Structure 1
């Protein structure tokens, strides 16, 4: 199959076409998950210009172009960064004093947050919140460490909307996801080294026509392929485990946006919950 670059070489392009194509090729990892409107907004051109380019390159529409581009990126660059095994990462800080290690961890955490604040588009969060708010049910999937985050995310979203289900450790995956349909949304959480269960859960969601919001560490991560929205979280750490502070920030951002969209439902639901929580003390 011809690459995007090969197709472009054979196509007569206008100056606007070249502007869009140049942006896409220089920002491949991110651009292959942006909508035509998002690309147009960043470049100051019309969405029709972006769509027209995809047709000039030989695709039926922009959606077909985007899927082909995602496949191309996944095949070309599955992940060029060597994977460090946890016990090997310990060597990075074995010669640091305790005070130096504390400082290194804090500086790393702040760097991850700053990186994600500057890299992620607000539109991705806003559109993800819209999808979650309108979905019939919300399935949150995470395994091992990610199950803890999925569980917390589930509690937060359950406070502001019904139909939130958390799927994770030691649960029968197929049984829990067999009723997925096109009106649902799946929030899939997985970071290097990617969980095979999370990947399979996303496959089930795609088969059901269910929209997927992938929260991961790379646009080329397995759960990102074909996802409706991808939220990339920086997880670099000086210690042996991934850093999840930036992910928690992004999780809280989505929760706040969803809450804003369901104000009346939120108030009634939270007041009812508060009554029962006071009676049981199960805070």
Structure 2
């Protein structure tokens, strides 16, 4: 089977002369309307082009895919960073029915988590945990929608580890915040489509300083994989203008718990002190002290 990383458009063009008449119609449609085709079912493409669903399936087979879903997945992987928010929004017709849309979104989140579980590299995960625990200082960088993930991870790692810094846009430029990185530090870069160029530039900078880089992203196609020493993948596929961060958040929870189990004795006293402070100052809702 062919690899997802190859340019699907080039594959179609290289095989064009070998296609049947109906398959050539499919090929022309995908080349001209790849942004729409990537999110259409085989039946829908067949309907638009004027061929049967089985012809679309055979088209995928001719290109080297075991079925249409794998061809569709490869196309989505390659184009999702190119789609603008307006293009994504234009593909939202299937979600106009609130009940259908609700189920489709929830099912997509479930698929993302299932895909993440099936493809997690356990050895890589252990390497990431070990690198974070050994680091003198941990920097966490995630911009745009990934900023929420970076803040969440930073909050919990900050509770468990001595020196954690979340790098974010503000008064100081991100390069200024990363100016003192050393080879003893680790920078965790979180990057999801559409991949922030500033995140990638910052990670290249710290890598040049000899700093270890941990990437958290969606797939092997992500540009962060060529920069990071270790990379963890969590799927974020979503058809609409909102990227699903459910699987990435679940991966971060797993990472936090794994680190917490390694330092639970050290942080036990810390949590006891926090509980006393929370109780004294009524931080959480509960019964009034008497």
Q: Note closer, same or farther for the CA distance 1:26–1:183 as it changes in structure 2 (3 Å cut).
A: farther
Other-structure match for 1:162: 162
Per-residue displacement from partner, 1:198-223 (whole Å, max 9, x unpaired)? 11221122122111110112224222
Tell me how far apart the structure 1 counterparts of residues 168 and 263 of structure 2 sit (CA, whole Å): 27
User: CA 1:208/1:270 → structure 2, altered by over 3 Å: closer, same or farther?
Assistant: farther
Deviations 1:123-168 (A, max 9, x none): 2222111111111111000112211211111111111111010001
Map 1:244-255 onto structure 2 (within 5 A).
244-255=245-256
Q: Which runs of 5+ in 2 are unaligned?
A: 6-76, 285-290
Report SS of the residue matched to 1:209: coil
Q: Is the 8 A contact 1:188 1:202 kept in 2?
A: yes
Offset from partner CA, 1:250-283 (integer Å, 9 cap, x none): 0011101111111221212222233333344556
Give 1:228 deviation, angstroms.
1.6
8 A contact 2:78–2:221 mirrored in 1: no
Could you say which residue in structure 2 is the equivalent of 1:81? 79
Within a 5 Å distance, the mapping from 1:79-158 to structure 2 comes to 80-81=78-79, 83-95=82-94, 96-158=96-158
Q: CA distance change for structure 1 residues 273 and 204 in 2, over 3 Å: closer, same or farther?
A: farther
- Tell me the C-alpha RMSD between the 2 structures: 2.1
Which deviations, in whole Å up to 9, do the C-alpha atoms of 1:56-76 show, x marking residues without a partner? xxxxxxxxxxxxxxxxxxxxx
Q: TM-score, normalised by structure 2?
A: 0.67
- Tell me the TM-score normalised to structure 1 length: 0.69
* Ranges in structure 1 where 5+ consecutive residues have no aligned partner: 1-24, 30-78
Bigger Rg over Cα: 2
Quick check: 2:218–2:235 contact (8 Å CA) kept in 1?
A: yes
